[in-house]
A and B are shown apart, each in its own frame.
Chain A
Amino acid sequence: MHKTTDSKLSLAHILVAYVALTIGGICGMLQGMVRGGVIELPLGIGYYQVLTAHGVLMALVFTTFFIIGFLYAGMVRTTGPLIPTVNKIAWVGFLMMTVGTVLGVIMVLLNKATVLYTFYAPMKASPWFYVALVLIVVGSWCALVAIVSQFRYWKRTHKGKMSPLFAFMAASTMILWFIATLGVAATVLLQFIPWSFGWVDTINVMISRTLFWYFGHPLVYFWLLPTYMVWYVILPKIIGGKIFSDSMARLAFILFLIFSIPVGLHHQLMEPGISPTWKYIQVVLTFLVVVPSLMTAFAMFATFESFGRSKGAKGLFGWIRKLPYGDVRFLAPFVGMLLFIPAGAGGIINASNQMNAVVHNTLWVTGHFHLTVATTVALTFFGVTYWLVPHLTGRKFTKKLNRMGIWVTITWAIGMVIMSGAMHIVGLFGAPRRTAYTTYNDHPVALEWLTYERVMAISGTILFIAIILLVISLIMMVRAPKGDEEFPIGEVSEAAGTTPAVLDKWWIWIIILAVLIVFAYTMPFIDLLNSGPGSKGWVTW
């Protein structure tokens, strides 16, 4: 596989992703050390500036760029080279997102946008920060158009056939992303930009929060669905097994599309102005989106067990020993899968209506998302990187690279388990998230937290070591011997049965989703429109 403009496209995205991860990782380590009372930041750098950079670079830039680069590569693999218009739109999108990213980072570095990655009103950043966000989001919509166009091109040229599973999932992911980003685009374009440029005096804070979290929950499924794609479609090929069920995998993705969006209120359970009834209704919908993850858990274990038994494993758990733990392409996603067990369990707790009061805005929440996105999703993406970059650059995934990858996986997992574990515990003791070093005047409650915060500092440093190993790996990848590295795509097991055509017909599901969004959000939105005169802007940093 030699470098084509398609592979350059994916590589460009992956490069930006890892630059973001590295800078974001430095920020993370510094935060941990400040919070643990180990250092003070030099040169007048603010803790909250670093925190804003960390959140934006990790949760928005690393993820979005890696996902889109990965999806393009998989589309090429399963549907053929990108048609010329698609390739062009994709590059336009990349440029917009990159310009937006650079602009946003500059604003943060200039201390004009120390508002954290959730940029809650009425804290008012420089209008150019919001412009940067628009560029990133609209750039990503180019990726939506590109991927859906490529998908539709394949459908037109293979009339009557079921789409390749990867392509179906990629298109689902981008459609979910588009519908989700309508919320954040609405609040940024219609509220933040006019307000920060001074064209209007006030902003309706609750509406802006509600629009953000309409986006903020499906955002995590934008991260999770590509992760699940690796598990469903790629891992079976890597281990030498088969995809457990094509139809159940598609059904799971459709359920994610429908149920991951009309649920944003579960991030606003402790807020005023929203009735308990509608909070609870969206909690019920949230619990429904747990179901496709339960299906995925079954499918994963089933894939492994079928494979193990096909290799002669006996007994209830003999198949566990047959898995290729020495192959980072399997090991990293697998460790991500295992850690999704506590991650997902924590998520269900967080969404449980009044129970959220126990954990809201504490470090428990930080522990939760370091397990979900920063371990499950990140480790899966790292595992993919070890074969994807060789594949795209026409080089080999060597044994040395594999060993580096195993070290990265182990180091990362140890760092995250310790750090996230400490965060969950100290969060239950009430330690707030998004807060610099403090003991609240040596209050006894706060002094209890110090040991855990020191543990967080140490484990944050362990994680940074893993990032160094990862960067070294990336350098090794582009210097590895030339060769053909496969993009593994699994085959479906014969036992899986036929896939009903209705699972490939999106219009039905998008209409159901639209109905659910209207149902779940109309009344809360109307309640919030009826508000006071709104808030002027504040620059509190």
Chain B
Amino acid sequence: MPEAQVKMNVRNASEKASIIDVEGELTAFAESVLMDAYNQASDGQARAIILNFEDLEYMNSSGIGLLVTLLIRINREKQRLLTYGLSDHYRSIFQITRLDDAITIYDSEEEAVKAANSA
């Protein structure tokens, strides 16, 4: 199987929120990397997971599918999923796929973390 062309870094944003920095390509091959990152981000007291897409270089429809399955997992754990760093192009994709119905998009890390902490 081709290697995932993506790196994900997990960091704590606050007591309640963790950030996953997505760098590279979000395709079907990124599944295990994304799930490992989520497990790491969720380890502890995190009630909100924030995806940082500032360094997202490429995403196909399988990549969007991964976000849906991630969202389901997060909802099952009674957590929230937020995002920031989406370019206009990727915001449009969230709109077309109607992911924005369930995943809130923020303009900056500060706004996303503030929203995560306020819940």
Instruction: Tell me, yes or no, whether A binds B.
Output: no
User: Which residues of A does B touch, CB under 8 Å?
Assistant: none
| Chain B residues within 8 Å of A, Cβ to Cβ | none
